[in-house]
Amino acid sequence: MTKRKTTPTPPSLPAVPNVILELITYNREKYSKVEAVDPDELLSKLQPDQVNWVNLDGLHNHDIIEKLQSHFCLHSLLIDDVLADQRPKAEEYEGYLFFTLKMLYRIEGMQIDYEQVSFVLGNNFLVSFQEKEGDLFDGFRDRIRLDLGKVRKKQADYLLYRLIDIIVDNYYNVLDRVGDLIEEIEENVYENPSTKTFHDIQLLKKELIYLRKALYPLREALSKVVKGESEFILEENLRYYSDVYDHVSHLIDSLDTYKDLTSSLLDIHINAMNTKMNEVMKVLTVISTIFMPLTFIVGVYGMNFDHMPELKWRSGYYGVWGVMFLIVISMLFFFRRKKWF
Amino acid sequence: MTKRKTTPTPPSLPAVPNVILELITYNREKYSKVEAVDPDELLSKLQPDQVNWVNLDGLHNHDIIEKLQSHFCLHSLLIDDVLADQRPKAEEYEGYLFFTLKMLYRIEGMQIDYEQVSFVLGNNFLVSFQEKEGDLFDGFRDRIRLDLGKVRKKQADYLLYRLIDIIVDNYYNVLDRVGDLIEEIEENVYENPSTKTFHDIQLLKKELIYLRKALYPLREALSKVVKGESEFILEENLRYYSDVYDHVSHLIDSLDTYKDLTSSLLDIHINAMNTKMNEVMKVLTVISTIFMPLTFIVGVYGMNFDHMPELKWRSGYYGVWGVMFLIVISMLFFFRRKKWF
Amino acid sequence: MTKRKTTPTPPSLPAVPNVILELITYNREKYSKVEAVDPDELLSKLQPDQVNWVNLDGLHNHDIIEKLQSHFCLHSLLIDDVLADQRPKAEEYEGYLFFTLKMLYRIEGMQIDYEQVSFVLGNNFLVSFQEKEGDLFDGFRDRIRLDLGKVRKKQADYLLYRLIDIIVDNYYNVLDRVGDLIEEIEENVYENPSTKTFHDIQLLKKELIYLRKALYPLREALSKVVKGESEFILEENLRYYSDVYDHVSHLIDSLDTYKDLTSSLLDIHINAMNTKMNEVMKVLTVISTIFMPLTFIVGVYGMNFDHMPELKWRSGYYGVWGVMFLIVISMLFFFRRKKWF
Amino acid sequence: MTKRKTTPTPPSLPAVPNVILELITYNREKYSKVEAVDPDELLSKLQPDQVNWVNLDGLHNHDIIEKLQSHFCLHSLLIDDVLADQRPKAEEYEGYLFFTLKMLYRIEGMQIDYEQVSFVLGNNFLVSFQEKEGDLFDGFRDRIRLDLGKVRKKQADYLLYRLIDIIVDNYYNVLDRVGDLIEEIEENVYENPSTKTFHDIQLLKKELIYLRKALYPLREALSKVVKGESEFILEENLRYYSDVYDHVSHLIDSLDTYKDLTSSLLDIHINAMNTKMNEVMKVLTVISTIFMPLTFIVGVYGMNFDHMPELKWRSGYYGVWGVMFLIVISMLFFFRRKKWF
Amino acid sequence: MTKRKTTPTPPSLPAVPNVILELITYNREKYSKVEAVDPDELLSKLQPDQVNWVNLDGLHNHDIIEKLQSHFCLHSLLIDDVLADQRPKAEEYEGYLFFTLKMLYRIEGMQIDYEQVSFVLGNNFLVSFQEKEGDLFDGFRDRIRLDLGKVRKKQADYLLYRLIDIIVDNYYNVLDRVGDLIEEIEENVYENPSTKTFHDIQLLKKELIYLRKALYPLREALSKVVKGESEFILEENLRYYSDVYDHVSHLIDSLDTYKDLTSSLLDIHINAMNTKMNEVMKVLTVISTIFMPLTFIVGVYGMNFDHMPELKWRSGYYGVWGVMFLIVISMLFFFRRKKWF
């Protein structure tokens, strides 16, 4: 159980040193929000008859994590999974359901930022662990406060669904951006197969590889939940999870499509390179084929033999020009027939 | 549940602003058709003892959709799926079966137009949602009116089968056109591996990628229906759905075949490009190999040394021509043996 | 249920206009054969206590097909499947088992001819539908007549097995021919990577693609039969079907092997092309590298400067020849060390 | 049931015309061996209370095969499978278990010889059919005679296990040889990407294709046996079959590894070819780029204009040499910066 | 059961001749460690009421192995599996569970060292077999002695879990190193596509092939254990095995990612090679295209015709220079428009 370096992840922003601990409790009537750095203070405010959402941003404060662990009786393996890089998964423990996935956000150029988010869902509580400050949930927090949508009428399992759904919906933004980039590159690659284009295609491919690594296990995890084996998800809410599952399947379909399109881009790039090369070779060949015979002919009459009758001819010089003109014409005719230009 | 942009779809025609709402009711004896923009008026004409087919073209009038939703008690997730780009699927709800798939139509050149069609099948009603005006069902509407075929003798589940079958049959037209294009390209690609051919192959590949994205999940959805778990499809009509399922399997087989053929086309194109390049190189090499030695020889006798005995020889000039002639002959013989032309 | 064009099929011979309708009835003791164009006449001769094999060649006479349909109570979907291009499949209906597959025959050059054959197996009858006149069953008809083998001792299900087995056995002939062609091409491709070879490899690939399209669903269909769910196949005869299933699996293994071999042929062809190209480039480079310096040297002494001491030297001319000779020798040495020839 | 040509098999040695029929009977106490050409004589010596191993080398004597068939009541389909090329399989019949697989032996260079071996396992007998004389079992026959190992203490099912195990163990030798060849080729291919290397890689690929065709179905067949459905294999001996199954899985893993390594070899070969081509092109370009400007310059001063002031200059000739020297130096500097040599 | 050469394994260090036999016994209260070469002495010290961990380094002392075999009643097939190269697997025997996997360690450059480790888990004992001296368990032995963590409170099945976990954790180190190497190569390959880079990519590919061969069957083996069929693993400890299973799945995901990245590296290398080649060709073509016409022109005025009016012109020489200057300018303009430099 050594602390593992997160194996293949793209370069990410520097970890934010802040630790934020936050508690939102609500039911149909009540709503309150507590932000505290002291975990004991916060845990004392949990409301047994309400939905309690404990959110932790920043995982390097071991003290807080240990207090959460002991309060919610979290298994040591679960805490290991929260702290180390993990493939998305759902796992049932006694007393709670563990769910972990990757959150994508902030796209600059072609860089995508990844963050691992883990959830522990109990009967009346949801604990969420995030690696860094800042998330996609701010708009949703307002919706809870203002009692918009169904969330205040539902239990903690619906809260988990909504959070997963927000994360998955953001994948659509990322994939749409990928789609735009593919179209952008495609417009350039036929005309101008530069090394930059090739570089961009490689970056795209890489993004798709990482996205695949995030999405395939997520579908697996959701399929496990959808099968309805968990006691912490009410049967009436299974349809919502099933809907997220469909979204992830749709995302994977799009991913596969983009993968095929990207590999087509590569084919186009290579073909454009080859076409350009062919063109260069043709220019070389046309020039050589025209001037080599000509240079030979003028070389012949540059020889210094004492006895060369043509040199004495009055119109010898003009005759040579005539012959050379005929050669050029027939060469051009030959290349035209071969459709070289 | 944000409104998602439809991720990888080919460019399509501008959305038609018209909204058409239409109701066809029928049984063995009666038939009537109402076209109305006011949903309340239309919904009041539903006949409980007949098959009611409500068809909506254009999904941007939220008022109509809300009224349909409340009248048929449609789940909010279902409405989300109708409005956003969705992978083809079949889903059983309490009170109705939801089915969504892609309709292809209007092929111009190699462009295929896609539209998402969704169906809600209840015990005596079928609601169909289409993104745009105009569909493939006009001929079939006439068949209902004129009481041709079995449709007036059957329930709403047979109606749904017929609509899906019409959409799937149209895929055959699209695939047949793809097959014709492959043959067309194949005839040209051996002779004339131009960038245009390559471009056409890429377009074909793209079309096949999108078709695959539409067909594979459709098969999945139909297989779910065929298993006979839905209460809204009578057992006697399952065979019909099973037949559509077989058609989709057949289409997928053809798709795979076309995919292989298209990738063969690419191989042929690349090979033709290389063959042409080789030819160019051979011309260059033949010309260089013949004229370089000749130019050297005439250069030798263009030197201005005071003492060069050959220059004085009477037949020196003719001797040089003889030597050069021998060189050309032996070169040609060498190239012939190497089968360069 | 529109009449579909058979999507990806290789070019086939023109449809034969003849329609042949034939009835063979037999049991252990009796045998009779009736050939008639009038279906009513033929159907009246069916023997309830014997095996009745009704064979129809040519599917464009709708009158005959309708009469067969009404006599054997064939489902309208079944008739659709018989008439349109269908993937091989087995389907159980009430009262009979439907089986359809592709028959291959007449190989000329690399062209294979395909024909769809459909069977309807009832308790004491077998109806076979063929698209064209002429089949592979003539030898077997004689065996029935002469009471060779077990067929006269068995029921209609054994008859169906034998017909499928004959069709499958013919696939072996086709695949053997493919194997011979691969060996033939392989002998040439190392030596002579011509466009013709490449063309042949592409044809082979195409044949294998079509064969795959015929064989994979056939295995599926047979596996359905072998599972023994059909009431029309006696359990004692299941072993025979299982044997055909094994043959088809074996054929698919061979197909995969041939596919890999064909793609190896392509690699070999491409490599031979590249090797040839390299050779051409080497010839060009060797010639250029030898003659360019020489031409330069003779050019130097072709200059017309008033003051060029070497030109006055008595042995200047021979000295230049000596220098050029040394250059040629050292070049050849350099190329030999680089193993260019 | 026509006699099929064995489809894709590598060229093998001419069939040996000898037919060898042999019977070994043994139990804990007794052992005897009979070699006879007359099957009746041999069959009369079967010992009901002992293990009887009947071995037949050479399958072209139909008389012997018919006698074995009638004595052991072998099904006609089984005899067909023994005589024709068959994919490895296990099949349960009434009264015996049929098992067929490929035996590899005698590796010369890269050629592997294949032979089909079939077994019929009954309660107290094992019949083995081999296509050719000579096998891998001689050492094991001695072990039976000398009562080494467990074989004399066990029943016929253990005997079958041991024979299969010997055949499978020999695959390891073949694969080890393949591994050695890969290493051998790899050492050469970086340095010397000749056509011979390429040819060897293709041969390797072919061998792996054929091995795959032998091993994959063998695993399937063994998995069928391991599931313990056969009544002819004692439960206590199932573990032995499971062990052979593991060996075959291990072989398949190695096969896949070798397949990947071979395809890497191909990549290396192609890269080495391209590197060489690049080198050739660089030599050509360097030579041309240096000598073309020089030849131009000396050409300029070879012109015969009446008025060319430089020609009169005293140091004109040396000046030209100086300029040419500067050009060569700057060219070399340019190529060095481009890292062309 | 011949001793097999371990088929495809990377070159490893010479086998260490030392044999180390070691026994650690512990429970909550007691702990003792015995190191002995005499197996009898060691086996006499087994404590029935404690956990007994027998560890053997070096498998060439048959005497020790036989004594362990007879003492723990190990099946002969199990001993075969311990001694020969085996794919990772879990196998239940009567009285114990057998588990074998590959241990990776000591990475120097890109070389990874493999060792096969086998475990036999009984009710109160664990026997571990290692091929070579030295392992990854030293830190863990100290933890047992110092009673750190849970191991002293748990049974032998937890001990096995911990040892497997340590081995699997070390795979992360190896894969992290692979990831670093990929990044390292990627930085160089765009700039400098040398043969060395290509060689490194091939080595990476090879490592990944071998890792795959170790990891895929390991996942299979662990999944077998996780299903909870073994009586030697307490249900409360299954979660731990399930955790290792997740780690291996995560490793396989990373492996697949690295495989895709490595194949991208290859694409980048090939593209960089081609780009360089194109550049070389352009230099050649630019130089040829500029100097060939110039050389022709100066050749024209090097001809020796008696009647060449231009030669008499006062400014003929300067006119030729002017024409040549115009040609060069227009050529450069042409190449600039073609974006060749």
| ipTM of the modeled complex | 0.80
Choice between A117 and E236, residue whose per-residue pLDDT is larger: A117
Report d(CA B278, CA C281) in Å as an integer.
10
Chain C residues whose beta carbon lies within 8 Å of the beta carbon of residue D273: 271, 274-275, 278
Chain B residues whose beta carbon lies within 8 Å of the beta carbon of residue C302: 299, 302-304
Closest CA to A120 of A139, A155, A147, A93: A93
Q: How confident is the model at residue E40 (pLDDT cuts 50, 70, 90)?
A: confident
pLDDT digits (tens, 9 = 90+) for B26-84: 988 889 998 877 888 888 888 888 999 999 988 888 889 999 999 999 998 899 999 98
Mean predicted confidence (pLDDT) in C315-337 = 89
Chain E residues whose beta carbon lies within 8 Å of the beta carbon of residue A89: 246
pLDDT digits (tens, 9 = 90+) for E109-168: 667 788 899 999 998 899 999 988 777 888 899 899 998 888 899 999 999 999 999 999
Q: What is the mean pLDDT of chain C?
A: 86
Per-residue confidence (pLDDT) for residue A106, from 0 to 100: 61
Residue E83 dihedral angles phi and psi, to the nearest 5°: -80, -35
Mean predicted confidence (pLDDT) in C321-326 = 91
pLDDT digits (tens, 9 = 90+) for E203-229: 889 889 989 999 999 999 999 999 877
In this predicted structure, the answer to whether residue B192 has a pLDDT above a threshold of 60 is yes
Report d(CA C84, CA E64) in Å as an integer.
73
Q: Which amino acid is at E85?
A: D
Q: To 10 degrees, the CA torsion angle through B288, B290, B293, B299?
A: -80
In this predicted structure, the answer to whether residue A7 has a pLDDT above a threshold of 80 is no
Mean predicted confidence (pLDDT) in E173-177 = 87
pLDDT digits (tens, 9 = 90+) for D8-41: 444 444 444 578 899 999 988 889 998 877 888 8
In this predicted structure, the answer to whether residue A15 has a pLDDT above a threshold of 60 is no
* Both tokens assigned to C70: 């009404």
Provide the 10 A C-beta neighbour count for residue A109.
Answer: 9
* Both tokens assigned to A327: 């050669």
Choice between B37 and B183, residue whose per-residue pLDDT is larger: B183
Minimum Cα–Cα distance from D246: chain E residue: E87
* Both tokens assigned to C229: 């769910």
Where does residue C168 rank: exposed (0-12), middle (13-18), buried (19+ CB within 10 A)?
buried
In this predicted structure, the answer to whether residue E341 has a pLDDT above a threshold of 80 is no
Per-residue confidence (pLDDT) for residue E14, from 0 to 100: 45
Per-residue confidence (pLDDT) for residue D17, from 0 to 100: 57
Q: Do C273 and B274 touch (CB under 8 A)?
A: yes
Three-class secondary structure assignment of B45-68: CCCCCCEEEEEEECCCCHHHHHHH
Residue position matching structure tokens 């052992």: D31
Restricting to D residues 233-262, those with a Cβ less than 8 Å away from any Cβ of E are: 239-240, 242-243, 246, 249-251, 253-254, 256-258, 260-261
Counting as contact any 3 or more CB pairs under 8 A, the partners of A are B, E
Q: Do A311 and E300 touch (CB under 8 A)?
A: no
Residue B39, CA atoms < 13 Å, CB-side half-sphere: 18
Report d(CA C67, CA E294) in Å as an integer.
88
Per-residue confidence (pLDDT) for residue A8, from 0 to 100: 46
Residue E210, CA atoms < 13 Å, CB-side half-sphere: 25
Task: Select, from the ranges B14-28, D180-194, E5-19, the one with the highest average predicted confidence (pLDDT).
Answer: D180-194
With 0.95 as the threshold, say if the pTM is over it.
no
Containing C116, the helix (H) or strand (E) segment is strand C111-121
Per-residue confidence (pLDDT) for residue A336, from 0 to 100: 87
Chain D residues whose beta carbon lies within 8 Å of the beta carbon of residue E77: 239-240, 243
Closest CA to E191 of A203, A195, D333, A185: A195
Q: Is C22 on the interface with D (CB under 8 A)?
A: no
Chain A residues whose beta carbon lies within 8 Å of the beta carbon of residue E151: none
Q: Is B285 on the interface with C (CB under 8 A)?
A: yes
Q: Do B317 and A302 touch (CB under 8 A)?
A: no
**CB–CB of E151/E159 below 8 Å?**
yes
Q: Do B296 and C295 touch (CB under 8 A)?
A: yes
pLDDT digits (tens, 9 = 90+) for A280-338: 888 888 888 899 899 998 888 888 888 888 888 888 888 889 999 999 999 899 888 88
* Both tokens assigned to C234: 């006696």
Which strands, in side-by-side order, build the sheet including A125-130? A31-35, A20-26, A51-57, A125-130, A111-121, A96-108, A89-93
Closest CA to A140 of A55, A237, A221, A247: A55
Q: Do A307 and B299 touch (CB under 8 A)?
A: no
Closest CA to C208 of C141, C173, C271, C257: C257
Per-residue confidence (pLDDT) for residue C190, from 0 to 100: 82
Q: Do D295 and E295 touch (CB under 8 A)?
A: yes
In this predicted structure, the answer to whether residue D252 has a pLDDT above a threshold of 90 is yes
In this predicted structure, the answer to whether residue D255 has a pLDDT above a threshold of 90 is yes
pLDDT digits (tens, 9 = 90+) for E120-137: 999 889 999 998 877 788
Containing C254, the helix (H) or strand (E) segment is helix C235-300
Per-residue confidence (pLDDT) for residue E107, from 0 to 100: 61
Provide the 10 A C-beta neighbour count for residue B297.
Answer: 23
Provide the 10 A C-beta neighbour count for residue D186.
Answer: 17
Q: Do B77 and A293 touch (CB under 8 A)?
A: no
Report d(CA E55, CA E20) in Å as an integer.
8
- What ranges make up the beta strands (E) of chain E? 20-26, 31-35, 51-57, 89-93, 96-108, 111-121, 125-130
Q: What is the mean pLDDT of chain E?
A: 86
In this predicted structure, the answer to whether residue B23 has a pLDDT above a threshold of 80 is yes
Q: Do E8 and D307 touch (CB under 8 A)?
A: no
Residue E111, CA atoms < 13 Å, CB-side half-sphere: 7
Minimum Cα–Cα distance from E297: chain A residue: A295
DSSP codes, C1-21: -PPPP--S----PPPP---EE
Q: Is D323 on the interface with C (CB under 8 A)?
A: no
Report d(CA A57, CA A129) in Å as an integer.
6
Minimum Cα–Cα distance from B287: chain C residue: C284
Closest CA to D170 of D145, D135, D142, D204: D135
Instruction: Give A111→chain B minimum CA distance, Å.
Output: 19
Report d(CA B17, CA B133) in Å as an integer.
9
Report d(CA C78, CA C81) in Å as an integer.
5
Report d(CA E72, CA E64) in Å as an integer.
12
Q: Is A209 on the interface with E (CB under 8 A)?
A: yes
Give the whole-number percent of chain C exceeding pLDDT 70: 93
Q: How confident is the model at residue A26 (pLDDT cuts 50, 70, 90)?
A: very high
Phi-psi region of E147 (alpha: psi -120 to 50; beta: other; left: phi over 0): left
Q: What is the mean pLDDT of chain D?
A: 86
Chain A residues whose beta carbon lies within 8 Å of the beta carbon of residue E278: 273, 276-277, 280
**CB–CB of D285/C289 below 8 Å?**
no
Report d(CA A201, CA A212) in Å as an integer.
16
Number of residues that make up chain A = 341
Counting as contact any 3 or more CB pairs under 8 A, the partners of D are C, E
Residue D228 dihedral angles phi and psi, to the nearest 5°: 75, 25
Chain A residues whose beta carbon lies within 8 Å of the beta carbon of residue B192: 339
pLDDT digits (tens, 9 = 90+) for C115-133: 899 999 998 899 999 988 7
For chain B, what is the total number of helices (H) and then of strands (E)?
9, 7
Per-residue confidence (pLDDT) for residue B236, from 0 to 100: 86
Report d(CA E133, CA D337) in Å as an integer.
52
Give the whole-number percent of chain C exceeding pLDDT 90: 35
Say if strands A89-93 and A96-108 run parallel, antiparallel, or are unpaired: antiparallel
Counting as contact any 3 or more CB pairs under 8 A, the partners of E are A, D
* Both tokens assigned to E198: 């290509």
pLDDT digits (tens, 9 = 90+) for C150-166: 889 999 999 999 999 99
Q: Is B275 on the interface with C (CB under 8 A)?
A: yes
Q: Do C87 and B282 touch (CB under 8 A)?
A: no
The vertex-A212 CA angle with A210 and A218, nearest 5°, equals: 115
- Among the partner residues E213, E266, E269, nearest to D257 by beta-carbon distance: E213
In this predicted structure, the answer to whether residue C16 has a pLDDT above a threshold of 60 is no
Per-residue confidence (pLDDT) for residue A309, from 0 to 100: 85
The vertex-C235 CA angle with C233 and C236, nearest 5°, equals: 110
**Coil vs helix vs strand at D44:** coil
Q: Is B183 on the interface with C (CB under 8 A)?
A: no
Identify from E269, E286, E317 which residue to disrupt to test chain D contact, counting D C-beta atoms within 10 A and taking the largest count: E317
**CB–CB of B56/B129 below 8 Å?**
yes
- Among the partner residues E242, E261, E274, nearest to A209 by beta-carbon distance: E261
* Both tokens assigned to D200: 């060897």
- Among the partner residues E205, E302, E304, nearest to D264 by beta-carbon distance: E205
Report d(CA C225, CA C223) in Å as an integer.
5
Minimum Cα–Cα distance from C139: chain D residue: D2
- Cβ–Cβ pairs < 8 A, chains C and D: 139
CB-based contacts of C150, cutoff 8 Å, min separation 6 = C158
Per-residue confidence (pLDDT) for residue C322, from 0 to 100: 92
Q: Tell me the longest C-alpha to C-alpha distance in chain A.
A: 121
Q: Is E1 on the interface with D (CB under 8 A)?
A: yes
Containing C33, the helix (H) or strand (E) segment is strand C31-35
Q: Is E184 on the interface with A (CB under 8 A)?
A: no
**Coil vs helix vs strand at B23:** strand
Say if strands E51-57 and E89-93 run parallel, antiparallel, or are unpaired: unpaired
Distance of CA C25 to the CA centre of its chain: 35
- Among the partner residues C77, C276, C312, nearest to B278 by beta-carbon distance: C276
Minimum Cα–Cα distance from D92: chain C residue: C239
Identify from A74, A82, A87 which residue to disrupt to test chain E contact, counting E C-beta atoms within 10 A and taking the largest count: A87
Report d(CA B329, CA B326) in Å as an integer.
5
Where does residue C322 rank: exposed (0-12), middle (13-18), buried (19+ CB within 10 A)?
exposed
pLDDT digits (tens, 9 = 90+) for A78-130: 999 999 888 899 998 988 999 999 998 766 666 778 889 999 999 889 999 99
Q: How confident is the model at residue B247 (pLDDT cuts 50, 70, 90)?
A: very high
Q: Is B206 on the interface with A (CB under 8 A)?
A: yes
Three-class secondary structure assignment of chain A: CCCCCCCCCCCCCCCCCCCEEEEEEECCCCEEEEECCCHHHHHCCCCCCCEEEEEEECCCCHHHHHHHHHHHCCCHHHHHHHHCCCCCEEEEECCEEEEEEEEEEEEECCEEEEEEEEEEECCCEEEEEECCCCCCCHHHHHHHHCCCCCHHHCCHHHHHHHHHHHHHHHHHHHHHHHHHHHHHHHHHHCCCCCHHHHHHHHHHHHHHHHHHHHHHHHHHHHHHHHCCCCCCCCHHHHHHHHHHHHHHHHHHHHHHHHHHHHHHHHHHHHHHHHHHHHHHHHHHHHHHHHHHHHHHHHHHCCCCCCCCHHHHCCCHHHHHHHHHHHHHHHHHHHHHHCCCC
Give the whole-number percent of chain E exceeding pLDDT 70: 93
Integer-rounded Cα radius of gyration of chain D: 34
pLDDT digits (tens, 9 = 90+) for D91-131: 989 889 999 999 987 666 667 788 899 999 998 899 999 98
In this predicted structure, the answer to whether residue E187 has a pLDDT above a threshold of 80 is yes
Per-residue confidence (pLDDT) for residue B190, from 0 to 100: 82
**CB–CB of A133/A172 below 8 Å?**
no
Q: Is A268 on the interface with B (CB under 8 A)?
A: yes
Which strands, in side-by-side order, build the sheet including E125-130? E31-35, E20-26, E51-57, E125-130, E111-121, E96-108, E89-93
Q: Is E298 on the interface with D (CB under 8 A)?
A: yes
Chain A residues whose beta carbon lies within 8 Å of the beta carbon of residue B283: 285, 289
